[in-house]
Amino acid sequence: MKILRTPRELREAVREARLRGESIGLVPTMGALHAGHVSLVQAAKRDRCWCIVTIFVNPTQFGPNEDFSRYPRDEAGDLARCDAAGADAVFLPEVADMYPPGSATVVSVRGLTDHLCGPARPGHFDGVATIVSKLFSLAQPDRAYFGEKDAQQLAVIRRFARDLDFPIEIVGCPTVREADGLAMSSRNRYLTPEARQRALTLSRALHAAEARFAAGEREVATLAAEIARILAEGRPTKIDYASIVDAETLQPVAGRIERRALVAVAVWFERTRLIDNVTLVP
Ligand code: AMP
């Protein structure tokens, strides 16, 4: 497995892989890797890609009061996990290489960021779209792999990739969960055992909504009330949102669910913000 530290080394490794006739698969991450990230590498390998994992805690996607400085970092563990998963290369750039002095360009996706995490995290999706478009330009992958766990992020990436004509297939991969249902996240390690137990209400609430929907319930108000009831049982510190939005536009659904919808929640337990979602398909 190649370890690449600079954009120049990345470009060179990609050039060599292309000369060998490889397809390039890109897996962007912020490190602190877990089985969710590993599933993206495995998806790239199933597609017979030469798989590059990028590990970069991107400062521009964190707000001033967010967890950038305390975000978990574990380079040795991450490299071992990438190797075991079958990654072909890992790209670990420095902030100064990704954002040299004078960087002034931002990729901003309108509309899709009006709801859900957009209002709670101003500037977050601009940071995501900007760094991912830079990684696309550097690695020029054939395919890029992202988790459905970050459903709004996936929608934003699909949209800018299309709008900016990146010739890249964006592959969404299912959310990987712990045995008890908790969606895997690098931020789960912030949770005390007690908060982690309370956090199971996220997946339980979403699962209950799915079950009611499968049994024929289509009223947003009824499903939302069920979700709110279960989330309250976890005594959350704060609920940023528990929303049912159109899966394409990410605009709130009013009344009945007639088209694919995303049920998404963002909930705080002490200083930790967790997100999760499920898709309902009529
Ligand atoms: P992150 O390191 O949190 O920025 O995530 C990097 C990539 O891994 C993103 O595409 C995430 O959506 C994806 N990811 C994170 N957690 C999971 C999970 N539990 N299941 C599947 N993909 C995930």
Q: pLDDT tens for residues 211-220?
A: 999 999 999 9
- At residue 50, the pLDDT reads 99
Assigned domain for 180 exists: no
139 with 248, same domain: the answer is no
- Same domain membership, residue 131 and residue 99: yes
Would 179 be classed as within a structural domain?
no
Span 230-238, mean pLDDT?
98
Are both 30 and 167 inside the same structural domain? yes
What average pLDDT does range 258-279 have in this prediction? 98
The verdict on 79 and 210 lying in the same domain is no
Decide: 151 in ligand 1 pocket, CB within 6 A: no
pLDDT at res. 268 = 98
CA of 217 to the centre of ligand 1 (A): 30
**Predicted local confidence at residue 166, as pLDDT:** 98
| Pocket of ligand 1 contains residue 36 by CB under 6 Å | yes
> Cβ(81) to ligand 1 under 6 A?
no
The predicted-structure confidence for 32-53, as pLDDT tens digits, reads as follows: 999 999 999 999 999 999 999 9
Query: From the CA of 33, how far away is ligand 1's center (Å)?
Result: 9
| Co-location of 191 and 97 in the same domain | no
The phi and psi torsions of 178 (rounded to 5 degrees) equal -70, 165
* pTM for this prediction: 0.98
Domain with 91, as residue range(s), is 2-173
Q: Which of 149, 173, 197 is the last residue of a domain?
A: 173
Q: How many folded domains does the chain comprise? A: 2
> In this structure, what are the phi and psi dihedrals at residue 183, rounded to the nearest 5 degrees?
-65, 130
* pLDDT value at residue 108: 98
Instruction: Specify if 8 maps to a domain.
Output: yes
pLDDT of residue 161: 98
Is there a contact between 279 and 262 (Cβ–Cβ < 8 Å)?
A: yes
Residue 97 shares a structural domain with residue 31: yes
- CA 170 vs CA 27, 53, 145, 211, 276: distances in Å: 11, 15, 6, 29, 20
146 lines ligand 1 (CB under 6 A): yes
Catalytic residue among 37, 115, 124, 207: 37
Gap from CA of 85 to ligand 1 centroid (Å): 15
Q: Which helix H or strand E contains 263, and what residues bound it? A: strand 261-269
Last residue of a domain, one of 138, 173, 208: 173
Active-site residue, 115 included: no
The reported pLDDT for the residue numbered 154 is 98
pLDDT score, position 273: 98
